[in-house]
Amino acid sequence: MARIYFHLPILFSRGLSYDKPNFFNVPKLTATLPWAMSHEPCALSHEPCTLSHEPRAMSHEPSAMSYIVSVRIFKLFLAFNFCLSTFVFYLLSFVFYLITMIMYKSSFFYPILITCIILSYSVEVSSQKIAFTRQDTLRGSITPERAWWDLKYYHLDIIVNPADSTIEGTNTITYRVISPSRRLQIDLQEPMKLINAMMDNKVLGFSRDGNVYWIDITEKQEQGKIYSMVLSYNGKPKVSENPPWEGGITWKKDKNGIPFVASACQGAGASLWWPCKDHMYDEPDSMLISVNVPENLTDVSNGRLRSVVRQKNKTRTYNWFVSNPINNYGVNINIGSYLHFSEIYNGEKGPLDCDYYVLKEDLEKAKIQFKQAPLMLAAFEHWFGPYPFYEDGYKLVEVPYLGMEHQSSVTYGNGFKNGYLGTDLSNSGWGLKFDFIIIHESAHEWFANSITYEDAADMWIHESFANYAENLYVEYYYGKEAGSEYVLGTRKNIKNDKPITGYYNVNNEGSGDMYYKGGNMLHTLRQIINDDDKWRDILRGLNNNFYHQVVKGSQIENYLSEKTGINLKYFFDQYLRDIRIPVFEYYIEGNELTFRWNNCVPGFDMPLKIFISGIEKTINPKSGFTTLKLDIDNAVIKTDPGFYVASLNLTGK
């Protein structure tokens, strides 16, 4: 979680903090913002400044007791600030000013100073607040109308009409009753409309609540029994203006004027274009996707193509079957004038069908660029274990946007170039050695499609591991030093603007730092373990233990703690739930090295590898100073760059 520092006379500062002169001899205050609803409430801690300076001469020095009382009031004030309206806040600011006036016996300086601090703090906090709605809660939480039934199977049967950008059809939902109820939640976002709901040929009543439909079931629901309902719907789904970052359907045309259509809906949700139980915690065990398109077009969706049925109205229906659990946003349609080629990859679980679908004009380029697919499979099976969906095969499908990790149907739009649209995101040179979309999006088959987050607040499970997978790919083919140079090079992209972990139960993803900072967090963890074979075993163990599972972030954190044999609570608190870079502070006096961690969460105790005049040593800094006797005088200290930390020689040398 984020911390904000108050240094006087600097009224308000944020970000990296080193000890600074405290001209008024007032302790430094550290306020913790409740960025995530599941975290501890706002609190204040008091830490004395390290550097001593003579206080400026002042009249009306406050008593120790009045200072303590004012700080306690300040704590309460800040804690309540997060739920105050602007008017009430300023009213209480004035009251606080009057209280401090009385406490400091009419001295104007301290009341004004403290009130200014609070006002400054309020501006910052207000700018960081996020307003969530009832719709966010319905979308992001496991409501009672979701919890009582377990999703087993979907049959999505639709007609996609590129001529008028409409989709219509049905979704048959099969579920098992966990705890009997009569009302269930189905998600379908406007402007799409639910037309009809049927169960056992009986019409069901339903009502709309924004992007949610409440379905009222007449038949008694018995615990453990399997039921099915058919939902009919139609409409013009939202058009994505900036796919894949903005969810929706992309309706384009290729160079020959032929429709080129694709879906991408991570974050916004699959209910943008089809009715479903749109929460990540529950997945169908299998799914049939039937897509009807004009006869000059081909649909490519997830899983294996079972059949293509010619219809009398000059259309074709493509039937794709997914035999593994699949998350909603992983379901996709890709429609165009595709050509197909394929190969067999001999992997850890045997022959794996690899199928590639591209536009005619890109066929020759694709045959060259897609040679990286089996290279990716070899590297990731080495690091993570077998490809998770042998039964459904692996596909790369060209689309009119950058790309996305749709399960067994990875979409591609990187221009058949290495790098990210031809650029190296790491500036190390290694990023141009591979096609970013093929490598990054395919890594999500392990981390996203097989191991899937339950709540969007834990999206780091997907993106941090996929980002780190880029480094592992480089290492597999070019060596450990090259991989390290790549991941360290991505640090310039880290913003440290807000925590990686988002707000729970409101479909909130958290910071984009889940990519580069998350990858560097994992790289740092590897340095702590300092055993490459063990690290690889842990990565493969994750994919074995959580194979085809929906997980909480805490499960992954606990697994890593267990397998490393290290309590990583404060490690994850620092890197996932705080915006600060931990600072290794030290100084040398003769043959003694004195050091500590600063700018970090309470309890942060990460081991650190340093070099003492070139000699490697692992130390265990705490928040308090520790002194270590060395074999040499005036040693030169350097930290291992593999750790994502900052360092500061307190003597300035």
Residues 283-307 pLDDT 10s? 999 999 999 999 999 999 999 999 9
Q: Is the confidence at residue 134, as pLDDT, over 50?
A: yes
Structural domain that includes position 393: 338-578
pLDDT value of position 486: 98
- 31 domain residue, yes or no: yes
Please tell me the total count of domains within the chain: 4
Name the pLDDT band for 98 (thresholds 50, 70, 90).
low
Q: Is the confidence at residue 391, as pLDDT, over 90?
A: yes
Residues 168 and 312 in one domain: yes
- 138 domain residue, yes or no: no
Place of tokens 């499908």: 397
Boundary of a domain, candidates 128, 160, 178? 128
Interval 45-50 mean pLDDT = 35
Boundary of a domain, candidates 554, 578, 602? 578
pLDDT by residue (tens digit) across 581-603? 999 999 999 999 999 999 999 99
Q: Is the confidence at residue 545, as pLDDT, over 60?
A: yes
Distances (CA, A) of 25 to 5, 52, 337, 494, 523: 15, 9, 73, 35, 40
Residues 200 and 306 in one domain: yes
Residues of the chain with pLDDT > 90, as a percent, come to: 79
Place of tokens 């760059």: 641
- 636 domain residue, yes or no: yes
* pTM of the complete model beyond 0.85: no
Residue 37 three-state SS: coil
- 610 domain residue, yes or no: yes
Interval 26-36 mean pLDDT = 32
Name the pLDDT band for 105 (thresholds 50, 70, 90).
low
Boundary of a domain, candidates 315, 336, 357? 336
Q: Are 576 and 501 in contact (CB under 8 A)?
A: yes
Residues 51 and 23 in one domain: yes
Interval 148-156 mean pLDDT = 98
With a CB cutoff of 8 Å and minimum separation 6, the contacts of 86 are 126
pLDDT value of position 50: 35
Residues 524 and 469 in one domain: yes
Residues 506 and 438 in one domain: yes
Q: Are 460 and 510 in contact (CB under 8 A)?
A: yes
Residue 471 three-state SS: helix
Residues of the chain with pLDDT > 70, as a percent, come to: 80
Return the minimum-mean-pLDDT range out of 84-88, 291-295, 346-350, 403-407: 84-88
Residues 508 and 633 in one domain: no
Name the pLDDT band for 102 (thresholds 50, 70, 90).
low
pLDDT value of position 90: 56
pLDDT value of position 91: 64
Residues 300 and 407 in one domain: no
Interval 511-515 mean pLDDT = 97
Distances (CA, A) of 31 to 455, 498, 503: 27, 15, 19
Interval 62-90 mean pLDDT = 47
Q: Is the confidence at residue 449, as pLDDT, over 80?
A: yes
Q: Is the confidence at residue 248, as pLDDT, over 80?
A: yes
Q: Who has greater pLDDT, 267 or 171?
A: 171
Residues 155 and 120 in one domain: no
